[in-house]
A and B are shown apart, each in its own frame.
Chain A
Amino acid sequence: MKRGILLLLLVTLAVSGCAAPAPSGPPPAFETGVDAESWVLVPAGEFLLSRHAHETLIDYDFEIMTTPVTNAQYVRYANEALAAGKIEIAGEELVGPYPGDAFHGERHEEEIDAGNWPLLTLNHTDSRLTFDGQTFSVKPGYESHPVTMVTWFGARAYCEYYGWRLPTETEWEKAARGTDGRAFPWGNEIVVENANYHHSKDPFEPIGTTPVGFYNGAAYAGFQTVDSPSPYGAYDMAGNVWQWTGDVYEGTHYRFMRGGSLLNYGYDLRVWTRNSARPDFSAPSTGFRALRTVAG
């Protein structure tokens, strides 16, 4: 009897503990209808920054991409920039130039020298991009998913190539929450229909990104989403992938990310939540979006 109970327990563990492996074929194909090439305007003015709601002024208008940069967009950039000689292949990596950081010798600070730094690792098993020696392409079905496995250098190089830049943390937060101090881009509560986060039951679970703009109120194969843009109309400002921001702070080599990802609990998707990593870090849950200033 006791052995039977033990055996049953072990079988239960084996069955419930070992989740199905990540699917190797194409993901479910859903068209969200949100244009990844579009930008949203964030007008100049004050807003409430951080969990403590500090009144903060951004005295210029700017535009931020409506969605994170997609795999298709990054492939287009990589092929163009590679052909133009702006970036190059070095061993197993795509690399690009970076002017380096000022070093202050603080505790735990590491030097980031001028030189070529990795933008992404070629043909990494976790990447949705492939490289055949000449050309980059997207694994079928992932074109409209956010690009991942890109380093901070890779995100910065993309923006710089087009004359844009990464948003600062302050700009990112304003774009995400607007001026009323809300905790999430859509309000103060989070439900699984708002965003892609840990066990949010989307069709790409357990570990898949969702196509950009997925949470737009549409239903996908029975999964009903709630339209969840930021007050300015930007999508995916919470969940799906962490987003690199552009600040380089004195005394640290870390770069900061915002937004939370598919791997985090809902509370990590609050707009002020920070993550950080070395600038050469890349992960399947890390992406970015670009910002451009508005003339005049």
Chain B
Amino acid sequence: MQQIAARFKYLFCSTRGLILGTIALMALTVAIFGMLSGPMAELGFKDVVERGLGMTLLPAEREARIVMLYHTLAMAAVAVLVYFITDLVPMNRREQAGINATVTVGFLSAMIFGLLFAYFGHNFVFHGLFIFGQSLVFFAGLMLAAALWPWRKAYLLPAGSEYSRGPGGISLERTAFFVMAVAMLISALFGAIPGAFFGNGFESFLAEDVVRDPVKTNLQLAIIGHLHIMLSLIAVATLLILSRWIDFKGRLHKFAMPPLILGTIVLSLGVWLLIPIEGLAHVIIYGGSTLVLPAALFMVIYGWRQLIRDRMAALGKTSWNFFQGLRAMVADPIKFGVLWQMVYMNFVVSFVGIFMAIKLDEIIRIWPAREERVTLTGHWHILATLIATILLLHYADYIGLKGKVRQWFGWTIILGSNLAFAAMTLFQTKRLYVTETGQEALINTTILLADIGLVMVILVIAVFLFARLLDLFRPRGRWAEELAQEESSREVGE
């Protein structure tokens, strides 16, 4: 009994255990529900999963099912972000425990009952529990915003601090966390309010299906804004978590934080203004994005420079040439990878998005809507998955993965995901290079390459999770070490 209690404590009371459990649940969800569409469905897996698990999949409900699936995954992803934030950003221990407990119950309720409702018949008690879970996650967000309040005396920075410092000594990094949390709470309402009108003037839809509709209702605009800003704010949260983790400081930190805060506010405002001033809102959004991106750039520059310095210091070198520096930078795939993925995001997400925006009428809207739809869905699937790989790499560093396992885990995720994302970028923009008649070879090649890349990533995650599962059966496994480590660090903190 004591052994079970210890493991329960690890999985539900330690940050590392909570994140491990959430990642495992997300991986399981993706593994099962990813079989229901795309190439997996084509290969016959859909029928096996559908019959094997007794799912009820009416064709007319596909879009609504997908919306619920996205929400369950998003709730879990938000929970992971919250666990990282409550651990990395200084706050009261009781606040941390309260926030983590609330978000855990919330996301589990939303995930379990949301999926049961969407895929296994419509029991409206389950739907209620899905909404209840999301409400708890929202409530945890309120608690988090309160805990992050930057004007608390205990968290003010002294004059001459190496970290970005605002008027009265407030930490601008903490302010950025606070602004992100508040913006996310407000943006959540932009999805919740139309959702509350479901069946009473609002019908489920996928944003990519209505892009060419000349008239969009206010509720549709709210949803479109909601999904864009939530993903953007998840990216901002990830950036801030990494910033804290690598101990970003100094001149670049001072350059990065003010535009990051301002950019987050402007970007969010732009989205919130989508309903009254749709045309102008896009300009505001571009303005906000332009402010956020340099902050990410400054952090990557700082992070890579620090990686080289640390590595060289470990080797006892005080001077080095470019190639030695490069080698030092990539020596640790995990630390290098989290920052590299942010750079790579520009090639497969940001630049593609900018190109699509600039050439919308000239090129993209010349294509049939289904082609535009492929670019849109590809675009945000890559962004979401890329953020997931960053968080996975960060988690690997967080739990202190070492030696060859660290090398294999890091490089497999970097190479596999980069291969998959590059292939999918080519696939989604295929109409730039090939006509319908000539597309088959390109489709087959890019899909194959994407599958190889994704299988690499999935396999390494599966092996990792399986190893961690086995570890839980060991009396003094890694889980016990991690638990002890967290408990001792808490004692030191207190």
Residues on A lying within 8 angstroms of B by beta carbon are 13, 16-19, 21-22, 51-53, 106-110, 125-126, 181, 183-184, 188-189, 198-199, 206-207, 242, 249-252, 254, 257, 263-268, 270, 274-278, 281, 283-286
Residues on A with C-beta less than 8 A from B369 are 254, 274-277
Listed A/B pairs (29) with beta-carbon separation below 8 Å: A13-B445, A19-B444, A22-B440, A51-B60, A52-B60, A53-B60, A107-B279, A108-B212, A108-B365, A126-B435, A126-B437, A181-B60, A183-B58, A207-B437, A251-B214, A251-B215, A257-B368, A265-B37, A265-B38, A265-B41, A268-B370, A270-B60, A274-B209, A275-B370, A277-B368, A277-B369, A281-B366, A281-B368, A284-B436
Across the A-B interface, the 7 shortest Cβ-Cβ residue pairs: A17-B445, A251-B214, A183-B59, A252-B214, A277-B368, A276-B369, A19-B440
Q: How far is the CA of A197 from the CA of B347 in the complex (A)?
A: 32
Contact A254 B444 (CB under 8 A): no
A-B contact count (CB 8 A): 99
Q: How far is the CA of A107 from the CA of B441 in the complex (A)?
A: 36
Residues on B with C-beta less than 8 A from A183 are 58-60
* A226 CB, min distance to chain B CBs, angstroms: 16
Nearest opposing residue in chain B for A285, CB measure: B436
Contact A250 B214 (CB under 8 A): yes
Nearest opposing residue in chain A for B368, CB measure: A277
> Is B380 at the interface (CB under 8 A from chain A)?
no
For chain B, residues 54 to 74, give those with C-beta under 8 angstroms from any C-beta of chain A.
Answer: 58-60, 62-63
* A150 CB, min distance to chain B CBs, angstroms: 14
Nearest opposing residue in chain B for A276, CB measure: B369
Nearest opposing residue in chain B for A16, CB measure: B448
* B435 CB, min distance to chain A CBs, angstroms: 7
For chain B, residues 347 to 389, give those with C-beta under 8 angstroms from any C-beta of chain A.
Answer: 360-361, 365-370
Residues on A with C-beta less than 8 A from B212 are 108, 252, 254, 276
Residues on A with C-beta less than 8 A from B441 are 17-19, 21
Residues on B with C-beta less than 8 A from A277 are 367-369
For chain B, residues 183 to 221, give those with C-beta under 8 angstroms from any C-beta of chain A.
Answer: 203, 209, 212-215
Contact B445 A108 (CB under 8 A): no
Contact B368 A17 (CB under 8 A): no
Q: How far is the CA of A199 from the CA of B435 in the complex (A)?
A: 18
Nearest opposing residue in chain A for B448, CB measure: A17
Q: How far is the CA of A206 from the CA of B63 in the complex (A)?
A: 28
Selected from A17, A52, A184, the residue in CB contact (under 8 A) with B444 is: A17
Residues on B with C-beta less than 8 A from A126 are 435-437
